[in-house]
Amino acid sequence: MKPIEDVREISALTYGFIASKALFAAVELDLFTRIARGADTLPAIAEATGVAANRARTLLTTLKTVGLITEKDGRFANAPATASYLVAGAPGDFRDYIRVVNGGFLYEGLRHLDKSMRGEPVFPDKGCYEGIVYSEGGVGGPAFSSAQHAGSLGPARLMARRVDLTGATSFLDVGGGSGAYTLAFLKQNPELRATILDFPETVATARHYAAAAGLGDRVAHVEGNALTTAWPGEQDAVLMSYVWSAVGGNDISTLARRAFAALRPGGLVLVHDFMVDDSHEGPDFAAWYLLAAMLDNPQAECLTPGFVEAALRDAGFIIEGTATMLDEITQLTRARRP
């Protein structure tokens, strides 16, 4: 990223959150779906959303300035990416992820970033994730897990296609949440059976999705905390996706050692997470996600491929390498137990 030189660039950062809130408001109103289905004039949008025309006009103008919609001769249209990802029934529809995870959990959580930077916990008795998602008045476990599931389906299918588990019969998904990654690997590998280890609040959601996919009989569940609950052993593969970014350095060492102990000789560990490059120059999306991870644990590390590989090597693994999984966002590190 080129160093900034103009005060207007600082202003763009200062006020950038307003564009995010405009997007969140539009998703709450399901505005893009309404436009796609024919409510494409200001009067029609006002009627469909129940928002007065003056307020709708201002929101629509803001959405135009950031490229989410266009307007011609008084008619509005969704931009190509908007049509693909922010309209009900679209192939990549992830409105729930934006509404619940970004607009609910992350946006609300980041109000506490200054406390996390000082090393102060947001909640005195639990992590920010548990506090904002599961506490009374929070986002709500089922809604959060469902939104995460919707946002994870595409990346999960991508990973399952790229990682060859031919011959494997046992798979442990640590912090597996709704089970999106587990289900993708099970569909790709008919002989595979899986165990998901995660907080008790996620289990009902994970069971629901496994049953809906017709794979409930191939998935077991362990309720608990990955750092303190016993892991099942004799696994052919262990996946930890978005787990290392949520814990501290000492906990990363614990997870690496636990993965080593849970695997059979020759077993594969997969660490999928937000990572910046080893020079800490970027990419920006990965850096932003890692900063947000500080909310849940002020001891969280700024992950890089070198850091992840070193932690696995210290636990006894032989490193196979790290490669990009989601461009500009995540990396996948592979290693084997000798």
Instruction: Give the lowest-confidence range in 194-208, 271-285, 286-300, 321-335.
Output: 286-300
170-174 and 235-241 beta bridge pairing: parallel
CATH code for residues 153-336: 3.40.50.150
193-198 and 235-241 beta bridge pairing: unpaired
Read off the DSSP letter of residue 104.
I
pLDDT for the residue 141: 61
Report H helices in the chain.
7-28, 31-36, 42-49, 53-65, 80-85, 95-96, 107-109, 113-117, 128-134, 141-162, 180-188, 200-212, 249-262, 284-293, 305-314
Considering only residues 75 and 131, tell me which one the structure prediction assigns the higher pLDDT: 75
Closest CA to 181 of 162, 208, 155, 209: 155
* Residue 192 in this model has a pLDDT that exceeds 50: yes
CB atoms within 10 A of CB 233: 11
3-state DSSP assignment of residue 323: strand
**Interval 23-50: pLDDT, tens:** 999 999 999 999 999 999 999 999 999 9
pLDDT for the residue 127: 64
CB atoms within 10 A of CB 260: 18
* Residue 145 in this model has a pLDDT that exceeds 90: no
**Interval 100-136: pLDDT, tens:** 888 877 888 888 889 888 888 777 766 666 666 655 4
CB atoms within 10 A of CB 268: 23
pLDDT for the residue 186: 97
pTM of the model: 0.86
**Residue 213 confidence class, pLDDT cut points 50, 70, 90:** very high
Mean pLDDT of 72-87: 97
Whether 7-93 and 153-336 share one fold: the answer is no
Mean pLDDT of 247-259: 93
Looking at the domain covering 7-93, what would its CATH class be?
A: mainly alpha
Output the six-digit token pair for 57.
Answer: 């006009």
pLDDT for the residue 134: 59
Q: What string of DSSP letters covers 66-94?
A: TTSEEEETTEEEE-HHHHHHSSTT-TT--
Beta carbons of 107 and 20 less than 8 angstroms apart: yes
The backbone torsions φ and ψ at residue 143, rounded to the nearest 5 degrees and listed phi first, read -65, -40
- Tokens 């970027």 sit at which residue? 282
pLDDT for the residue 142: 67
- Provide the residue ranges of all domains of the chain, joining segments of one domain with +: 7-93, 153-336
Distances (CA, A) of 42 to 30, 34, 52, 199: 15, 12, 10, 46
* Residue 139 in this model has a pLDDT that exceeds 70: no
| Residues contacting residue 288 through CB under 8 Å, at least 6 positions apart | none
pLDDT for the residue 136: 46
- Cis (ω within 30 of 0) for the bond into 265? no
Considering only residues 185 and 112, tell me which one the structure prediction assigns the higher pLDDT: 185
* Residue 318 in this model has a pLDDT that exceeds 60: yes
pLDDT for the residue 41: 98
**Residue 220 confidence class, pLDDT cut points 50, 70, 90:** very high
Q: Enumerate the β-bridge partners of residue 338.
A: none
* Residue 191 in this model has a pLDDT that exceeds 50: yes
pLDDT for the residue 261: 98
pLDDT for the residue 2: 81
Read off the DSSP letter of residue 232.
P
Instruction: Give the lowest-confidence range in 113-127, 199-213, 268-282.
Output: 113-127
- Per the prediction, the chain carries an average pLDDT of 91
